[in-house]
Amino acid sequence: ATAEPTTDQEFVAKALAMDQGEIKMSEGAVKNATNADVKTFAQKMIDDHTKNREALLAVAKDMKFAVVA
């Protein structure tokens, strides 16, 4: 298990990394899943986590955090 973030910047960095992981995993499901419901759900995950990343990147920029986009 990973340690809980202790600073705002640490939280932002970990949340961005987790969102990116969800997006990558879901992209694989969209590409490889055989069930239409799984593909639909995976696309929703991509859409939702992409929006989350965009919003969090804006927060990071406003707070002048150096994070990997």
pTM comes to: 0.82
Report in angstroms the alpha-carbon separations of 52 from 15, 16, 20, 32, 34. 9, 8, 10, 24, 27
pLDDT tens for 15-26 read 999 999 999 999
Q: How confident is the model at residue 3 (pLDDT cuts 50, 70, 90)?
A: confident
Q: Which has the higher per-residue pLDDT, 69 or 67?
A: 67
Average pLDDT, the chain: 91
